[in-house]
Structure 1
Amino acid sequence: MATIIDVAKQAGVSIKTVSRVMNNQANVRDSTRRRVRDAMASLNYSPSDAARQMRLGKSTAIGMLYSDPGSSYQSRLNQSMIQACSDAGRYLVVGLFNEDDDDWVGQLQAFLARTKVDSMVLVPPMCDSENLKACLNDASVKYVLLSPSSPTPGVSAVTMDDRKAAREMTEHLLDYGHERIAHIAGHPDHVASFLRRQGFEDAFTERGMPGPDSSQVASGNFDFRCALSAAEKLLTSPNPPTAIFAASDDMAAAVYMAAGKLGLSIPEDISITGFDDVPIAQTIWPALTTVAQPLDNMAKDAVRVLSNSLAPTTKDANSNFLVAPHKIITRESCGVPSANRRG
């Protein structure tokens, strides 16, 4: 059976263009539209008739796909989504998904056929996949985006202000008197990582202070081992930081390990902050100062959007974000900079 991918390949266009043609959108050239329709006819392709038939009865299930089941963030989000679905009289169906797999379209179709979900929550990084969104449109599956990089016209999204939260966390460290603050960033392909780094830099700019140089920023890829290596390099550099702001709590835990290996005390020798407020933030010692992502509120809003009981506050297709408020959680991992580690 032909898929939307096959049509795109034969027509020499993107999956998104095929989706636009099937939905009769105006922003497609006539020659391209004819080429796509010819490919559909040649392949005897019908836009997911079977999938649409399966969804004639309303499903109570909400689907969610993710690529990193081992992350603390994903585990926390799963809990929030399960509770939000339960409160709304629905239930959550989850599955592993990787768009880098050659047969990702087949995997998606199998997931939809097996679970019969008619609505989904797209989490990072899938929320930014135009191909995935086109396939869901093709299958008449309603979806909401969780923390996407930018708005998708006509699609609701639930997010938080990562940049503002990171700026406030950095300001928290500046208020203690830290000037040489390092940042361990997340994965370069994740928009949240980019926004958190921007917020980190904004804090210095707004106070008229010199911005952090390249030696103060390291990549941790939202991975414990990568963050451990980054932290060790930062802490053993000729002019080490007096504080480190990690873009996730898992990476902050890696900084704790690096500090312990080097005989550094927290917060006497090094202050550490994180982002997420997942359980590890309170199980490590001293307890971690971090940004609490409003995952419970975000999950509730996502489910309400999919249940047609909540809509964006604006009809502007480019401003359809629902922004949930974050909170700085102050614990015991921050202190004034150590005199013998000042730059």
Structure 2
Amino acid sequence: MKSTIKDVASLAGVSVKTVSRVINNEPNVRPAMQDKVNKAVAELNFKRNPLARGLRGQNSFILTLLYSNPNPSYVLELQNGAIEQANNDGYNLQILPCDHTNENLIDNIESIITHSSQDGFLLTHPLCDNEDIIALLDKNNIPFVRISPFHQEHSSPYVLSDDKQAAYEITKYLISLGHTDIAIIKGHPDFGATHKRYEGYLEAMNEMNINVDDALVKQGQFTFESGEVCARQLLTQDHKPSAIFASNDYMAAAVLKIAAQMHINIPANLSVVGYDDAPVSRQIWPSLTTVKQPIYDIAKHAVQKLIRHIKKQEFDDVQSKFQCKLVLRNSTSPKL
């Protein structure tokens, strides 16, 4: 038989109202009371019912995560982090894919607002930079948090990783190995992360007075297939690179495939780096040198911010920036 909030109150020796305040993370509850309630919750294995709470009050206790991203490992890691934090805070998470190129995008989101119930939205890039979506949510007074926006002018809270710095560091690493003919395969142009990673690459090259040949800059789409196309262009043109920085691991994996087909030894004759530390970076050979984003932690933090936003609680900082980590593996070596 499931425990009720009354059972928790009885075991803790407090009122039902106090239990409600504690489990809903409301302010101004004495630490001693919090401890009593939390111990009773744990002992009784009490589970909150978000739907029932929503029916009794103004809130649905449902959060909606909207995404449009071709990188499945990024989306999965984001979902897992958001789900864990939402569950910890007594919320359910609704996860909805939205094609940011769909001409009916705004109508679709308006339909979500009209026909489903949520207390707030988590917007991933590039949706979080869409001015029409932001205007729609503002018009309906719906709280939202943006994940990795390129433009930060809006007053809504947001979380992001320092893509520019990470791209700068991985490019500097290639330069430290003696590479100067460093190509870059950029990600989808609609994504802010694409531009930040390119900025980091350019900053590192310029700092070391290395000329960037336009022939070494290719436009990818964050997909394996686009990586194949760009890799063939780079490895068959007159000015061939000695190193390639692909803006995500799927495009980097595609570079390894094309290099193998062309009998180019990696890393002896070509160094390759990716970005994201997706599972594929560890599953292929040679394993990829890459950048690890703390996607799981970013998602958890975004949910925490959204819930504070919903409850109209103050933020320590509207922006939260996470640092990335360079992961060295077998796809890079000093230039011969």
TM-score (normalised: structure 2): 0.78
**Could you tell me whether the CA contact under 8 Å between 2:246 and 2:273 is conserved in 1?**
yes
* Deviation of 1:312 (Å): 4.7
Q: Between 322-331 and 108-117, report the one with greater CA deviation.
A: 108-117
Where does 1:16-55 land on structure 2 (aligned, <5 Å)? none
Cα deviation code 1:118-163 (max 9, x no counterpart): 1111001100011101111222211001111122332101011111
**Cα 1:102–1:179, aligned 2, differ >3 Å: closer, same or farther?**
closer
Cα deviation code 1:212-247 (max 9, x no counterpart): 110111111212111111111111222311110100
* Deviation of 1:306 (Å): 1.1
Match of 1:327 among 316, 325, 328: 325
**Could you tell me whether the CA contact under 8 Å between 1:259 and 1:265 is conserved in 2?**
yes
**Could you tell me whether the CA contact under 8 Å between 1:81 and 1:92 is conserved in 2?**
yes
**Cα 1:268–1:321, aligned 2, differ >3 Å: closer, same or farther?**
same
**Could you tell me whether the CA contact under 8 Å between 2:289 and 2:332 is conserved in 1?**
yes
Equivalent position of 1:233 in the other structure = 233
Where does 1:269-284 land on structure 2 (aligned, <5 Å)? 269-284=269-284
Equivalent position of 2:185 in the other structure = 184
Equivalent position of 2:157 in the other structure = 156
Equivalent position of 2:170 in the other structure = 169
Where does 1:305-316 land on structure 2 (aligned, <5 Å)? 305-308=305-308, 312-314=315-317
Does 2:65 match 1:64? yes
Cα deviation code 1:3-44 (max 9, x no counterpart): xxxxxxxxxxxxxxxxxxxxxxxxxxxxxxxxxxxxxxxxxx
Q: Structure 2 regions of 5+ residues with no counterpart? A: 1-53
**Cα 1:293–1:58, aligned 2, differ >3 Å: closer, same or farther?**
same
Where does 1:19-168 land on structure 2 (aligned, <5 Å)? 57-68=58-69, 71-168=72-169
**Could you tell me whether the CA contact under 8 Å between 1:312 and 1:321 is conserved in 2?**
no
SS at 1:307 equivalent: helix
Paired amino acid for 1:266 = I
**Cα 1:70–1:200, aligned 2, differ >3 Å: closer, same or farther?**
closer
Where does 1:190-205 land on structure 2 (aligned, <5 Å)? 190-205=191-206
Q: Between 124-133 and 189-198, report the one with greater CA deviation.
A: 189-198
Cα deviation code 1:55-87 (max 9, x no counterpart): 962222211112246633223322222223233
**Could you tell me whether the CA contact under 8 Å between 2:288 and 2:329 is conserved in 1?**
yes
* Deviation of 1:335 (Å): 0.5
**Could you tell me whether the CA contact under 8 Å between 2:82 and 2:93 is conserved in 1?**
yes
Equivalent position of 2:335 in the other structure = 337
Paired amino acid for 2:178 = G
Q: Distance in 2 between matches of 1:274 and 1:172?
A: 13
* Deviation of 1:311 (Å): 5.5
**Cα 1:311–1:220, aligned 2, differ >3 Å: closer, same or farther?**
farther
Q: Distance in 2 between matches of 1:241 and 1:233?
A: 11
Q: Distance in 2 between matches of 1:69 and 1:171?
A: 27
SS at 1:187 equivalent: coil
Paired amino acid for 2:325 = K
SS at 1:144 equivalent: strand
Paired amino acid for 2:294 = P
Q: Structure 1 regions of 5+ residues with no counterpart? A: 1-52, 315-319, 339-343
Q: Distance in 1 between matches of 2:271 and 2:70?
A: 29
**Cα 1:200–1:243, aligned 2, differ >3 Å: closer, same or farther?**
same
Q: Between 176-185 and 113-122, report the one with greater CA deviation.
A: 113-122
Identity across matched positions, percent: 32
Q: Between 179-188 and 305-314, report the one with greater CA deviation.
A: 305-314
**Cα 1:102–1:241, aligned 2, differ >3 Å: closer, same or farther?**
closer
Does 2:223 match 1:217? no
Q: Distance in 1 between matches of 2:277 and 2:86?
A: 22
**Could you tell me whether the CA contact under 8 Å between 1:222 and 1:251 is conserved in 2?**
yes
Paired amino acid for 2:225 = R
